[in-house]
Amino acid sequence: MLSRAWEWARRRRKPPHHLGGAPSGNTGTVFTGDVIDGKRVISALDVSDLAPGKHSFYFQGVQMPTGQHWYVSVMVAKGAAPGKRVGLISGVHGDEMSPVHTLQTVMSQLDPGQMSGTVIAVFDVSRPAIEAMERRWPNSGRGIDLIDINRLFPGDEDAPDAPTRHAGLVFNRLLRANLDYGIDFHTSATGMDMTAFHLARMDLPEVKAMAELYPIEQIFDNAAEPGLLANALIAAGIPAFTPEIGRPRIFDLDMIALFVEGTMNVLKHHRIIAGPIGRTGEDSKVFVADGMLAIIASHGGFVELLVKLNDAVEAGQKVAIQRNTFGEVVAEYRAPRGGRVGARRTDATAEPGIPIVFMIFDSAEPVGGDTIIE
């Protein structure tokens, strides 16, 4: 009952006066007057009032229990001529590092004097998660909860938990009014490895056009779960998708290069920068799939994988063997249908219920072979 009364009180609460509620459109860039390490602090971004050139800011994110704020690193490259505005986002999950390097590399290659339009990079959305090299945000409201902020967008500036408020601030005051297109870069989760991959709504022509400009291995054509930043952007009329750059926690420089090339292609496609389009999904023979399945551990034990990333797998093919501590085989895992390996476990142990292999497949293709899972 207490929590119900508290929920009711929360819903009745007005937005704090000093924030003035969520801006509905361009409100002008708001400078707090603070400077951190030489970077001016903003509490709202409006790229229309910035001079052409490169700008670096700290965005004042959510307030913590101490009364201090989490700051988010933002860079704007505004062209000398007007044009489209593309947002590049990383750090929504705190253990996903290759996206940060991808954004840094793209931004370093931009010359605003030669640009028609604007590129906005937001490097570290979930600062406390990044500090901990942890996927989820460690929220401290009632003891530590680990909260996946990429299920909370578009957020709520008036919510009773920090990650939801932070999602609302980032969405309303940094992204929504400033973007024509959005790209939210991720990797697989800790314990998994993944191909060069997009999660993208291929039924949306503007998303499809951008997604196909990357020389990568796989595209999973799926709307995924509500609350993803890309889905909140789409709901706000901003075509968006979610690249996944391999494994977490590391810089995968080879794979990063593919996503930098694809992002530069996107900027050329939108005529923000000039130059010939580089390699695309056509060159990499990207595998577009509309189906995904997980092969799940049925036992605890040590897993030996028999397939590599992006392998073509036949129905019934053995993909993993699991042994107990004595080396006795406790389970064998087979592909329930044909497809490609999209992601696989990197931790050698797995308990029951943990995905060992993710496969993606084209649902229009027959299942094929013997579909019994042993």
Binding site for Zn ion (CB under 5 A): 93, 96, 186
The least distance separating Zn ion from the CB of residue 34, rounded to whole angstroms, comes to 30
Whichever of 148 and 290 has its CB closer to Zn ion, that residue is 148
* Pick 122 or 313: Cβ nearer Zn ion: 122
| CB 93, min distance to Zn ion, A | 3
φ/ψ (deg, to 5) at 337: -160, 175
Q: Which is nearer to Zn ion, 60 or 90 (CB)?
A: 90
Q: Give me the residues paired with residue 294 across strands.
A: 358
Pick 217 or 334: Cβ nearer Zn ion:
217
Q: Helical H runs in the chain?
A: 2-12, 98-108, 127-131, 162-169, 205-211, 229-235, 253-269, 281-284
117/128 with CB nearer Zn ion = 128
Q: What's the min distance (Å) between Cβ of 96 and Zn ion?
A: 5
In angstroms, the Cα distances linking 230 to 34, 88, 241 are 31, 11, 5
Min CB(186)–Zn ion separation in Å:
3
Contact at 8 Å (CB) between 361 and 319?
A: no
143-178: b (≥16 Cβ within 10 Å) or e: eeeebbbbebbbbbbbbebbbbbbbbbbbbbbbbbb
Rounded Cα distance between 249 and 188, Å, is 10
Q: For Zn ion, which is the closer residue by CB, 134 or 290?
A: 134
CB of 87 to Zn ion, least distance (A): 16
Residue closer to Zn ion, measured from CB, 57 or 185: 185
Of the two residues 125 and 350, which places its CB atom closer to Zn ion in the complex? 125
**Shortest reach from residue 185's CB to Zn ion, in Å:** 9
Asked whether the beta carbons of 298 and 370 are under 8 A apart, the reply is: no
Q: Please list, in sequence order, all residues whose beta carbon lies within 8 angstroms of the beta carbon of residue 39, skipping any fewer than 6 positions away.
A: 56, 57, 58, 73
Tell me, what amino acid is at 57?
Answer: F
Encoding tokens for residue 134?
């942890």
The distance of closest approach from Cβ of residue 295 to Zn ion in the complex, given in angstroms and rounded to an integer, is 21
Q: What angle do CA 360, 223, 226 make, to 5 degrees?
A: 125
User: Quick check: 315 and 369 in contact, CB under 8 A?
Assistant: yes
What minimum distance in Å lies between the beta carbon of 136 and Zn ion?
Answer: 10
